[in-house]
């Protein structure tokens, strides 16, 4: 039976997991170019812990008058389409909602998004696994854009946090552009990193042609770049200063529907990792946040709005 409201997780006054509330909000119909998606799965990402903890409020990036929506990643099924949309009702899709300052998010039963921002989930990939791909797969692909093609005379790339979500994709995708990748990760992650075709280190020495900082080590990671090398970080609002002729950039992950489709296809084929740590009902979102905050989790917690 259809209802006129749906459930979504928000924070009013951010103070960590205990400040997350599940509220009912009115269903919105999709405008031209938009789709309404019944969400089946929403991955929990580090950025969500930051939003719930007030990190981005404190940075002045959030100004919602009543509440802030949580969640960037989603996978689900199209339930309504606006004008000029080529996606039929019932199509399985995944996508990324970007930007901090919004009163809605993907920790919800429903979402209205531009059809251009979503990608069809290929057969053979379930929606739980698909929901773990958009934010971190696109972030990694867009970091590789910032790195560009590897110069033949300087192609040694260190990926920090190589066993993490962004780092794992980076290790795989950077090799497409000619980088000779070494992954910096914990000793217990060696097999995973090597399995992606990279070299492994648990203790990196300085002197890399480029560093892609999936562990958000910032100044410590820039210290590993050789003079005149390249650093690409994951903290656009807190990037370390350029030093020793080093080119410094930071990614701002953004939706790219066609590119997400490629990432989903490569996940379905097993070429890219699909890593789910646990599936948790939306009602237990605070528990998932608490568990993530302890660190050491490999693969994502995935929230499901339906029990
Ligand atoms: N700017 C953007 O658009 C954007 C987009 C996506 C993500 N991000 C950011 O990117 C970062 C990574 O996200 P994620 O989802 O990939 O996180 P994640 O899955 O938790 O991965 C981080 C990895 O780094 C490892 N790590 C941390 N310190 C390390 C060290 N000193 N040596 C070796 N490994 C270390 C962690 O291991 P342990 O768990 O054992 O500590 C973990 O495996 C987060 O800060 C996130 O907010 C930014």
CA of residue 164 to ligand 1 center, whole Å: 5
d(CA 193, CA 201): 9
Buried (b) or exposed (e) across 230-239, using 16+ Cβ within 10 A? bbbbbeeeeb
pLDDT for the residue 307: 61
CB of 170 closer than 6 A to ligand 1? no
Beta partners for 81?
Answer: 35
CB of 132 closer than 6 A to ligand 1? no
Q: Measure the CA angle with vertex 45, ends 27 and 263; round to 5°.
A: 85
CB of 295 closer than 6 A to ligand 1? yes
d(CA 139, CA 147): 12
Q: Which tokens belong to 115?
A: 């059809």
The DSSP letter of residue 285 is H
Closest CA to 110 of 35, 47, 46: 35
d(CA 29, CA 27): 7
Please provide residue 182's backbone torsions phi and psi, each rounded to the nearest 5 degrees. Answer: -120, 130
Task: Sort strands 225-233 and 247-250 into parallel, antiparallel or unpaired.
Answer: parallel
pLDDT for the residue 2: 54
Q: Which atom of ligand 1 is nearest to the CA of 167?
A: 16
- In order along its 307 residues, the chain shows pLDDT tens digits of 456 999 999 999 999 999 999 999 999 999 999 999 999 999 999 999 999 999 999 999 999 999 999 999 999 999 999 999 999 999 999 999 999 999 999 999 999 999 999 999 999 999 999 999 999 999 999 999 999 999 999 999 999 999 999 999 999 999 999 999 999 999 999 999 999 999 999 999 999 999 999 999 999 999 999 999 999 999 987 767 777 999 999 999 999 999 999 999 999 999 999 999 999 999 999 999 999 999 999 999 999 998 6
CB of 159 closer than 6 A to ligand 1? no
DSSP structure string for 128-147: HHHTTSHHHHHHHHHHHHHH
Overall pTM > 0.85: yes
CA of residue 26 to ligand 1 center, whole Å: 35
Extended beta strands in 3-155, E state: 5-11, 20-26, 34-43, 68-69, 73-81, 92-96, 110-114, 118-120
Q: Which tokens belong to 51?
A: 């939003």
CA of residue 161 to ligand 1 center, whole Å: 5
Closest CA to 45 of 275, 205, 306, 206: 275
d(CA 76, CA 86): 16
CB of 251 closer than 6 A to ligand 1? yes
pLDDT for the residue 1: 43
- The model's pLDDT over 86-124, given as tens digits with 9 standing for 90+, comes to 999 999 999 999 999 999 999 999 999 999 999 999 999
């Amino acid at each position: 039976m259809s209802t006129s409201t749906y459930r979504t997780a928000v924070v009013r006054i951010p103070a960590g997991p205990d400040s997350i509330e599940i509220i009912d909000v009115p269903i919105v119909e999709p405008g031209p170019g938009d789709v309404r998606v019944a969400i089946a799965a929403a991955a929990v990402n580090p950025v969500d812990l930051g939003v719930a903890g007030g990190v981005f409020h404190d940075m002045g990036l959030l100004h919602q008058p009543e509440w802030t929506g949580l969640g960037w990643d989603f996978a689900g099924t199209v339930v309504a389409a606006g004008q000029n949309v080529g996606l039929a009702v019932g199509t399985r899709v995944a996508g990324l909602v970007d930007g901090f300052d919004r009163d809605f998010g993907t920790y919800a039963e429903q979402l209205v998004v531009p059809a251009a921002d979503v990608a069809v989930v290929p057969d053979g990939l379930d929606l739980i696994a698909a929901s773990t791909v958009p934010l971190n797969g696109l972030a990694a692909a867009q970091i590789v854009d910032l790195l560009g093609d590897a110069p033949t005379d300087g192609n040694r790339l260190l990926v920090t946090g190589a066993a993490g979500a962004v780092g794992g994709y980076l290790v795989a995708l950077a090799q497409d552009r000619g980088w000779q990748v070494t992954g910096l990760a914990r000793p217990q992650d060696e097999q995973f990193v090597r399995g992606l075709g990279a070299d492994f280190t648990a203790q990196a020495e300085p002197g890399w042609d480029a560093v892609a900082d999936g562990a958000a080590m910032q100044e410590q990671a820039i210290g590993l770049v050789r003079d005149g090398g390249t650093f690409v970080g994951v903290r656009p609002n807190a990037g370390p200063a350029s030093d020793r002729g080093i080119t410094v950039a930071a990614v701002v992950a953004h939706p790219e529907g066609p590119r997400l489709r490629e990432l989903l296809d490569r996940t379905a084929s097993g070429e890219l990792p699909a890593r789910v740590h646990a599936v948790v009902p939306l009602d237990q979102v605070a528990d998932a946040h608490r568990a993530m905050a302890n660190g050491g989790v490999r693969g994502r917690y995935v929230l499901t709005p339906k029990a």
